[in-house]
Structure 1
Amino acid sequence: MSGKPSKLTGFLLVIIGASCWGIGGAVSQRLFQEHDVSVDWLVTVRLLTAGILLLVIQSLLKDRSQVGAVWKNRHTAVPLIIFGLLGMLAVQYTYMASINYGNAAVATLLQYLAPVMIIFYLLMRRLTVLNGKDIITVALALTGCFFLLTNGSLSALAVPPPAIIWGVLSGAALAFYTLYAIPLLRGFDSLVIVGWAMVIGGAALSFVHPPWAVNLTAFTGEMYVYLIFVVIFGTMLAFWFYIESLQSLKPQETSLLGSLEPLSAVFTVVLWLGEPFGGFQWFGTACIIAMTFLLAFEKKAASAPAESKAL
């Protein structure tokens, strides 16, 4: 894409990108739970393929020199490796593991606890003070999680405990990912940072589950379609479209429309996969979505954290 897209194009890009993210989680769930695809293998393939494609896009359509320049200074190379392992790989793996043990809707919504975790981190570091908006944000997140995970019952959880644990860890990983990426994104295009982070994370996980260590002959045509959707549409295109939308939209607008990700995940899981979703869980979902709307209108919204979104 060359030149600055129109505002209408920007809206379409972020809507498509956010929707692909959410739907990609549901498609991954189907691969895990109905086709016995390994979480380790899918995350490895997803990161390596999408990361390489993003770097190719950067080389062809943007500043090619940045692809190699990020490695020429240890002050950027070392943080990039840390970001790739503790940020990108951690976010992707915990998110997928939560989907594997539960479902994409709950995993996506639990990941949206990241802003609340960031608030608590900044408070502990005394980098901010608690205000009324923060209190409402935390209250919405905690209320939403309670109803999402219990469906209003205090006697039993509506979601398997492993899915909850991995989902909360995914939120924590996303909080680290968002904060740690800011200095890197100030010096380089987001496609460069996220592309290399995906390659680093995928390469590291290759030692656990090499991408070639799979019986592809056992894959059906349906599985190949799902795999292509997860890697291309649910990862590479989703992130690229989201970033491109920032050229014509305000960060607040992009963040607001980005809330379509959990909505698309919930509706895809319920309508396509037929997962049961209780009335109180819908209420919990509404609370978490309301929290994202509240954050989207934050006056101090910064473009760097918005640009670091890549699920």
Structure 2
Amino acid sequence: MWLTQIRMISAGAIMLVLSGLRKQKPFAIWHQRHSALQVIAYGLFGLIPVQFFYFLAVQAGNASIATILQYLCPFVIVLYNVVRLRQLPQRSEVIGIIVAFMGTFLLVTNGHFGAIAVSPLVLFWGLLSAVGAATIALIPRDIMPEFGPLNTTGWGLLVAGLAMNTYHSAWLRPRHMPWQALLLIGAIILVGTVFALVLFNMSFQYIKPTTASLLDAFEPLSATVFSILLLRVPLTRYDLFGGALIILAVALLTVDVSHYLRRLWH
């Protein structure tokens, strides 16, 4: 919890300072009741689940499995569109859901019926983080174009971190923290939060959003590779194959594969 708070408060403050230096009026988002309520909801119901619940899933399992489960978020969005907007899924979405189910089954059972290779706690926090990942894509859709990604994301992170501070004080640093841990925390804040979000949002100036989302969908693959290379996490072939199926399913939802197949055919 402390790490999540420090990550969100620090990253949010850095983004708002960058917004001020670029003269993007960081406080303008609070001048309208609608945008203020949306950024509060964005922080409480989106960023807290996607940040804190994801870390709980990592703690209960490992980074690769937690990340793969979090990237079930497109299917949460599909379900929202069906229930809330009455929009039936497209053919690519149906195929993606089936492929994701197969991948999740292999990931959870390790290929054995009746056996659960991942603890229920990992599934619980991982799926809640997937809901959070879907929420952060749905809630700020209206205010992001008007106020910009730095202001929207910065205030959302700050609201989320300060809200968690009412339950657990972020200013009480854990005792006996070595300098190596401080360096790792700095890397999480700067590289894993600020740089990642800023670069991702800047990419829309050069590539289409669908392309950016497709590239972002490879995060589970990178998490798996680095877990094997750096953390020596033992993964079975079922974990790898199940993760690959989920990544494929995300790609099916992001890009209309049938459209490109028809173009190649003709």
TM superposition score normalised by structure 2? 0.92
Gaps of 5+ in 1: 1-39, 300-311
Matched, 1:164 2:89: no
Show the counterpart of 2:236: 278
Q: 2:183 corresponds to which letter in structure 1?
A: V
Q: Secondary structure at the match of 1:189?
A: helix
CA RMSD after TM alignment: 1.5
Q: Decide which of 47, 50, 64 is 2:24's aligned counterpart.
A: 64
Identity %: 33
1:225-261 CA-to-partner distances (Å, cap 9, x unmatched) read 2111111101111111111111111112211221231
The aligned runs of 1:186-201 (5 Å cut-off) are: 186-201=145-160
Q: How many residues in Structure 1 have an aligned counterpart in Structure 2?
A: 257
Q: How far 1:187 moved relative to its partner?
A: 2.0
4+ runs deviating over 4 angstroms: none
Instruction: Measure, in 1, the Cα distance between the counterparts of 2:110 and 2:35.
Output: 45
Take 2:79 and 2:251, find their aligned partners in 1: how far apart are those partners?
19
Answer yes or no: is 1:136 the counterpart of 2:95.
yes
Q: Displacement of 1:81 after TM fit?
A: 1.1
The Cα shift of 1:126 comes to: 4.3
Deviation at 1:292, TM superposition (A): 2.2
- Specify the alignment match of 2:262 in structure 1: none
Distance 1:130 1:255 in 2: 19
Q: How far did 1:264 drift?
A: 1.3
Once residues 252 and 114 of structure 2 are traced to their aligned partners in structure 1, the CA distance between those partners, rounded to angstroms, is 31
Aligned equivalents of 2:211 and 2:41: distance in 1? 30
Structure 2 counterpart of 1:206: 165
Find the residue that maps to 1:212 and give its secondary structure: coil
Contact 1:252-1:298 within 8 A present in 2 as well:
no
Partner Cα distance (2:119, 2:228) in 1: 17
Kindly state the Cα deviation for residue 130 of structure 1 after the two structures are TM-superposed: 2.7
CA distance in 1, matches of 2:85, 2:8: 35
Q: For residue 3 of structure 2, what is the aligned residue in structure 1? A: 42
Q: Answer whether contact 2:45 2:132 (CA < 8 A) is retained.
A: yes
- The aligned amino acid for 2:100 is A
Corresponding position of 1:125:
84
Deviations 1:111-149 (Å, cap 9, x if unpaired)?
A: 111111111121122431232111111011111111111
| Pairwise CA distance, 1:57 | 1.4
What letter matches 1:55 in structure 2? Answer: L
CA distance in 1, matches of 2:39, 2:140: 9
2:264 corresponds in structure 1 to none
Structure 1 Cα separation of the partners of residues 137 and 86 of structure 2: 16
1: CA distance, partners of 2:179 / 2:195: 22
